[in-house]
Structure 1
Amino acid sequence: MEPRTLQAVEQIFSAAPAKGRVETLNYFLVSDDENVAEWLDSFLSSRQEARIIVPFSISELDAAKGDNWFVRNRLNQKFFGRDLFNYSLPLVEDTYFFGRQSTVMEYYDSIRRSENKAIFGLRKTGKTSLLFKIKRLCESEKVAAVFYVDCKQPHIRKARWFELLEDLAAEISQKLNALTASNYTERHASRSFVDLIKSCKDAGHRISIMFDEIEYISFISPRDKHWRDDYIELWQTLWSSQSQFKCLSFIIAGVNPSVVESDLVDGVQNPLFGIVPHKYLTGFSQEESRMMLRKLGKRMGMAFEFDACNYIRDWYGGHPLLIRQACSTLNSFMAENMDHPFKVDVQSFEGLKSRIDQELTFYSNHAISEIREFYPDEYYLFELLATGRELEFKELSRESAFISHLCSYQLIRKSEYGYEVNIPVIAQRVALDSMKKDGRELLYPLIDIPNRNSWLQRRIEEISTDFGVLERLISQGAKSCKLFGANSFPEGVRLHESKVVRDKDSFSVFINTLNRCFVESVEKYGVDLGNKQYFWNDVKAAYESLWPVLHRIKVYRNDVDHLHLNNATTKNFFEFLDSDFEGKQFSQISEPYFLLQQRLLDRLLLALQREIESAS
């Protein structure tokens, strides 16, 4: 056996009549070589993208004529023994490339027309694999000579702009047999490169340069500061070359489109502004996820049910790497207790989900690492949402560009009352990192002790003001169901005199004040109307955001005063406590009563703001 045998098979697959008509993920290989299986294992050990090849020697097939299980056992060995999901590097071949066909053709057409394009998105969503796929297609169809530049490589990002041009010129000249000038000094590099592109144009060549991980050689690079100035010089040269000779195009890939959206860089016009249409490479659709899971799973002895495919896709936001690694881990865990083949349904995944997510810690962190490094403001906004600080998120999210980017990454999505996390496993990782960084015992951070008095007064003032705004909207007919009747909530003075909670007694005073102000007053108004179920029926139906918080206040107050709790109320109490304590026991939290005070007031203010938005 020699490698040229496999090369011949690849050629057969890529040509008529096999091309596009036969299954390409696997095939049988029958050889005269008695050691074909051993040779193949050795040859493929370093080629993770290789197809599944089931080898047989002629002699062993002859010897096994009477063994009905010989071929089946070999199939089990080659199919079920290989983990096709456990692949994290960019795909350099078509074998395991799934989906993205419309995007591939869109960018292929742009190169064919010498037009620029950019692609952005989270790490490991498949941007580099997509670039490699486009490169292979362009070269196989001979529409352009494509040059790939990995900008995070040290020899790239540490180069000056004219040195990078020199490296690009050398590569272009070598591949296209074009003459290049040797004068790539800072003063003459631009002219030399323009002359090179002219000679390529005259020779009938079309060129496309792919810049992957563009942030590393841009004005936002945190490591190599010289690119703040060199970025302008590089792209002025490249843009000039393209505008003069319509044979050059660029494909830019990165996390965030800031490099093409910013009109000025230190007061100088950004050469890329307005000339690079872009899109985000988001997660797989449900159809693309199902295709990948079922096609790869079938060859591993994993039969994914329809609902399980959708559930896994939704939990990981369609992120290709997270889905692959999750299914790789799922395969390992399920194989501990059963033999292949086995069925994968929603219940089997849910039962192992927490263990799987623990194994994905590295990949979850990796997916968002560049946002943390290059775009700290966007990362902080996502951290607020991940740690449950919805009120702060709402206050800071008025910067629409940040929110737009987070939505485009598919890290968050629009919800009925604002925004919510779209990829829970990444949010969990970010929240845990935040907790660890600050040395907190909970994901939800408590107000520092020196700031609590001022925080409490400010929060109560905000709540009082927003209740006033909501009442005015109600009086104007925004809602038919009033809260307090003709007057506002009672005991406003006592509410403003509330103290920072330190123990059970001070919490009892605080929660009773809240209850009298905002719950008993509503119930009393209902009684005055002759409707004893006013709070439970009318208010609950009319105030979808506010009522759950008022109910929470009522339940906590009933517990602290040892009032009779029925089964439903007891169940509510433990559910509320479990949510506020993040699944921890009362004794595991150093300041449980202040935590409840902070969470109640934060929830109340957020609910009021949502009701005001709804009524406005």
Structure 2
Amino acid sequence: MEKPIVSNGRLYKGIKYRLNIKGNDIEKKIVRNLAEFFGVTFSRTEKFKNTDYNFSFLQPGDEYREKFNMYNEILLLFSPFQDFDRRALDFVDKTLTDYDNRLDKVCIFLVSKDLNITNKIAALNNENKDSKLIVPFTYAEFSKRKITQEDVENKLREYFYSRDLFAIESPIRNDSYFFGRKKIVQEFYSKYISGEQGGLFGLRKIGKTSVLYALMRTIESKDGIYVFMDCQSPSVHALRWYELLEGLIIKLSEKYNVQLNMSAYTFDEKHAAYSFEKLLLQIYKQLSEKRILLIFDEIEMICIDTASAEHWKNNLDFVYFWQTIRAFCQEHQNELCFLVAGVNPHCVEVASIQGIDNPIFSMINPAYLELFGIEDVKNMVSSIGKYMGLEFDEEIYTKLVEDYGGHPFLIRHICSLINSSISLERPMKVNKYDYGREKANYDIAISKYIEQIIQVLKISYFKEYKLLEILAVQGNEAFLSNLGKADFSTIQHLIGYGVLKKYKDTYFITIEALALYLKNNSDLLINDSMEEKRTAISKRRNKLEIKLREMIHTVFITKYGKLDARERILKAKKTEERTKLEGIALNELMEKEYFFPELKVLIDKNWEDFSKVFVDKSKFKLNMDIINTYRIDAHAKSITEEEYLMTHMALKWIEECVF
């Protein structure tokens, strides 16, 4: 083996002087093989859940930094079982936490005796999109021959560049991809330690549940006690208030294996509060008198006015449930505290419910989860991007904040779209000009996510939605004139979400993509000049035209192949024009030679291929004709409010079909 090589104080090839490599003879041989292109800096055996694990740390050199942005040491773990045991991943989590200051928190080298390990890791990645980048090897690979640096780099390319780490839909369940929220997690942990109540609020998909998961990981690491209730689940919001109290007791006792004589207590309207108090005190004593935290996520689902179940929404279940919790907290301040999370703090702001005092009115000081600033966006995007071989122009981070307001979920999905458009020949730099050119397409692609984010306001907090819509569509003057009709709390909520800001006497929406969505999906008349109306119609029609082209091209290619697709597309042109189009590539042909009227003809002539998209042929033709007739940007003619509204409705009908 080569002599150890050190550069700038880092060992990047060979084994650290006097380091005792742990493991059996085969595992030591594997470590020595990898030491030919990594520095081996640490080696240890640890027992975890009755199993001994051998592991070492590999330090990457400059070539791995350049190609894969690998800076920290990599965990090399051996799994000496013929059938891979997923419990080894629990040991991985523990080790990454124990050596947080040294180890890369995403990438792990796993050497397994299981010959099917590659398929098992692939299945794991499919189940959990935010799983770590586990690069699998088998003992057999090393026993057949020496693994070369090229072999290792090929593996890294396969596992780094082929996975889209930006496309995470669900809340973040581990620290690997958790960014920008450590301060608020610590604040809520401090509230738990001091027995204070907490409230976390913010827009949909902004990361509230991810913060709650991080808080739970912190509590677990410090041997605390909590129970998590997802109020979105029918197993929670379908329950009556006294059944939910019983559910809390059952969940706590099962989670911490506490033995209770439940049959001695009754949970009904008369006795539930008493039974809850007595059983919770028993749990508290059996758990070494550690404070218990009750966490309620998606609190709207069991809140007055916003719940889906009648007994929470319009009856008094909300009052009786929180009367019980409040009474316990007041009498037993050391034993229990709670945290509620949702979009809107309505549940703690309404003073009375059907003439009865709201038990948790002003009991919580709401904390809003803020949108990311430029530094948080840069940290998240660059950290995730580096594992996929992507480096971003510095200006892109600023644009992501300007265009998408620093909303982490939207930004990750924009980066996912960027990733999907780039070849796997990496590393590669993402250019600000490419971003600018494609932004209109990105906005179209993420409109469904914008809808998810804003839908809860439209359904449950319509005043807030309407004010945003007025600002987006009719401007600041109309917004200010409607402001007096709104409650003060409505404005505070919108500012708390981070979607609304005020500069002097002007309010503006911080997420440009959200303002665009509101404009494109509003029935309000725009109080704008003719020039602004031209611009609004032009933008929407241009985006629609791009989407229709893409849809026609995709449907024809998929169903008929390139040659037949070309023939069908050419039929929309006059016979004498077709000869001029020979030799032009199909995608270029669609982009440069086919405009709105011809797209209508193509769909009309091939209605069977598009009937499932548009359903009603006569409505399709009518709306396409309206959109083309009132091209006021092209013809520089005036348009009445009635004609403008008609054009808006026609655009909206077609947009809802294709987006």
Same fold (TM over 0.5): yes
Deviation at 1:40, TM superposition (A): 2.5
Deviation at 1:245, TM superposition (A): 0.8
Q: How does 1:42-441 map to 2 (within 5 A)?
A: 42-61=123-142, 65=146, 69-143=150-224, 145-174=225-254, 175=256, 176-180=258-262, 181-203=264-286, 204-221=289-306, 223-227=308-312, 228=314, 229-246=316-333, 247-335=335-423, 339-398=425-484, 399=486, 400-435=488-523
User: Residue 242 and residue 57 in structure 1: after superposition, are their counterparts in 2 closer, same or farther (change >3 A)?
Assistant: same
Which letter maps to 1:218? Answer: C
Deviation at 1:28, TM superposition (A): 1.7
Deviation at 1:122, TM superposition (A): 0.4
Deviation at 1:597, TM superposition (A): 12
Query: In structure 2, how many angstroms separate the alpha carbons of the residues matched to 1:48 and 1:214?
Result: 26
- C-alpha contact (below 8 Å) 1:64/1:70 kept by paired residues: no
Deviation at 1:43, TM superposition (A): 4.0
Which letter maps to 1:197? Answer: L
Which residue of 588, 593, 603 maps to 2:630?
588
Which letter maps to 2:292? Answer: I
Query: In structure 2, how many angstroms separate the alpha carbons of the residues matched to 1:273 and 1:592?
Result: 54
Query: In structure 2, how many angstroms separate the alpha carbons of the residues matched to 1:309 and 1:38?
Result: 36
> In angstroms, what is the RMSD of aligned CA positions?
2.7
In structure 2, what is the equivalent of residue 518 of structure 1?
Answer: none
> 2:176 aligns to what SS in structure 1?
coil
> 1:105 aligns to what SS in structure 2?
helix
User: Residue 408 and residue 133 in structure 1: after superposition, are their counterparts in 2 closer, same or farther (change >3 A)?
Assistant: same
> 2:294 aligns to what SS in structure 1?
strand
Query: In structure 1, how many angstroms separate the alpha carbons of the residues matched to 2:519 and 2:112?
Result: 55
> 2:134 aligns to what SS in structure 1?
strand
> 1:123 aligns to what SS in structure 2?
coil
- C-alpha contact (below 8 Å) 1:121/1:254 kept by paired residues: yes
Which letter maps to 1:216? Answer: M
User: Tell me, which stretches of 5 or more residues in structure 1 are unaligned?
Assistant: 436-442, 447-548, 557-574, 600-616
User: Residue 240 and residue 55 in structure 1: after superposition, are their counterparts in 2 closer, same or farther (change >3 A)?
Assistant: same
Query: In structure 2, how many angstroms separate the alpha carbons of the residues matched to 1:223 and 1:300?
Result: 42
TM-score (normalizing by structure 2): 0.65
Deviation at 1:102, TM superposition (A): 0.8
Deviation at 1:582, TM superposition (A): 4.9
Query: In structure 2, how many angstroms separate the alpha carbons of the residues matched to 1:580 and 1:47?
Result: 41
> 1:69 aligns to what SS in structure 2?
helix
In structure 2, what is the equivalent of residue 9 of structure 1?
Answer: 92
Which letter maps to 1:120? Answer: F
CA offset digits 1:118-141 (Å, max 9, x no partner): 000001111111111111211220
In structure 1, what is the equivalent of residue 21 of structure 2?
Answer: none
- C-alpha contact (below 8 Å) 1:172/1:178 kept by paired residues: no
User: Residue 587 and residue 224 in structure 1: after superposition, are their counterparts in 2 closer, same or farther (change >3 A)?
Assistant: same
- C-alpha contact (below 8 Å) 1:580/1:596 kept by paired residues: no
> 1:54 aligns to what SS in structure 2?
strand
User: Residue 165 and residue 299 in structure 1: after superposition, are their counterparts in 2 closer, same or farther (change >3 A)?
Assistant: same
Which letter maps to 1:92? Answer: R
Higher Rg: 1
Deviation at 1:65, TM superposition (A): 4.7
CA offset digits 1:297-321 (Å, max 9, x no partner): 0001110122211211231111111
TM-score (normalizing by structure 1): 0.70
Deviates more, 1:219-228 or 1:154-163: 219-228
Deviation at 1:389, TM superposition (A): 4.3
> 1:431 aligns to what SS in structure 2?
helix
Which letter maps to 1:373? Answer: I
> 1:45 aligns to what SS in structure 2?
helix
Deviation at 1:222, TM superposition (A): 5.1
Deviation at 1:62, TM superposition (A): 6.2
Query: In structure 1, how many angstroms separate the alpha carbons of the residues matched to 2:349 and 2:532?
Result: 44
> 1:23 aligns to what SS in structure 2?
strand
Which letter maps to 2:84? Answer: E
Aligned residues between the structures = 462
- C-alpha contact (below 8 Å) 1:307/1:345 kept by paired residues: no
Query: In structure 1, how many angstroms separate the alpha carbons of the residues matched to 2:242 and 2:359?
Result: 16
- C-alpha contact (below 8 Å) 2:105/2:175 kept by paired residues: no
Which letter maps to 1:236? Answer: Q
User: Residue 581 and residue 369 in structure 1: after superposition, are their counterparts in 2 closer, same or farther (change >3 A)?
Assistant: closer
CA offset digits 1:119-169 (Å, max 9, x no partner): 0000111111111111121122013x2111111212211211111111112
Query: In structure 2, how many angstroms separate the alpha carbons of the residues matched to 1:201 and 1:32?
Result: 45
> 1:413 aligns to what SS in structure 2?
strand
Deviation at 1:205, TM superposition (A): 3.3
User: Residue 28 and residue 312 in structure 1: after superposition, are their counterparts in 2 closer, same or farther (change >3 A)?
Assistant: same
Which letter maps to 1:343? Answer: K
In structure 2, what is the equivalent of residue 504 of structure 1?
Answer: none
User: Residue 29 and residue 197 in structure 1: after superposition, are their counterparts in 2 closer, same or farther (change >3 A)?
Assistant: closer
Query: In structure 2, how many angstroms separate the alpha carbons of the residues matched to 1:582 and 1:261?
Result: 43
> 2:177 aligns to what SS in structure 1?
coil
CA offset digits 1:539-575 (Å, max 9, x no partner): xxxxxxxxxx9xx8xxx9xxxxxxxxxxxxxxxxxx6
Which letter maps to 2:332? Answer: F
User: Residue 376 and residue 292 in structure 1: after superposition, are their counterparts in 2 closer, same or farther (change >3 A)?
Assistant: same
User: Residue 359 and residue 69 in structure 1: after superposition, are their counterparts in 2 closer, same or farther (change >3 A)?
Assistant: same
Query: In structure 2, how many angstroms separate the alpha carbons of the residues matched to 1:170 and 1:224?
Result: 22
User: Residue 26 and residue 269 in structure 1: after superposition, are their counterparts in 2 closer, same or farther (change >3 A)?
Assistant: same
- C-alpha contact (below 8 Å) 2:199/2:339 kept by paired residues: yes
Query: In structure 2, how many angstroms separate the alpha carbons of the residues matched to 1:226 and 1:177?
Result: 32
Which letter maps to 2:127? Answer: S
Query: In structure 2, how many angstroms separate the alpha carbons of the residues matched to 1:37 and 1:74?
Result: 11
Between the aligned residues of both structures, percent identity stands at 31
Query: In structure 2, how many angstroms separate the alpha carbons of the residues matched to 1:135 and 1:64?
Result: 45
CA offset digits 1:265-314 (Å, max 9, x no partner): 22221111121122101212221111110110000111012221121123
In structure 1, what is the equivalent of residue 535 of structure 2?
Answer: 579
- C-alpha contact (below 8 Å) 1:365/1:430 kept by paired residues: no
User: Residue 372 and residue 577 in structure 1: after superposition, are their counterparts in 2 closer, same or farther (change >3 A)?
Assistant: closer
Which letter maps to 1:391? Answer: E
Q: Higher strand fraction: Structure 1 or Structure 2?
A: 2
Deviation at 1:29, TM superposition (A): 2.1
Deviation at 1:432, TM superposition (A): 2.3
User: Residue 589 and residue 445 in structure 1: after superposition, are their counterparts in 2 closer, same or farther (change >3 A)?
Assistant: farther
CA offset digits 1:246-274 (Å, max 9, x no partner): 21111000111111122222222111112
User: Tell me, which stretches of 5 or more residues in structure 2 are unaligned?
Assistant: 1-82, 542-626, 646-659
- C-alpha contact (below 8 Å) 2:352/2:358 kept by paired residues: yes
Query: In structure 1, how many angstroms separate the alpha carbons of the residues matched to 2:469 and 2:222?
Result: 45
In structure 1, what is the equivalent of residue 567 of structure 2?
Answer: none
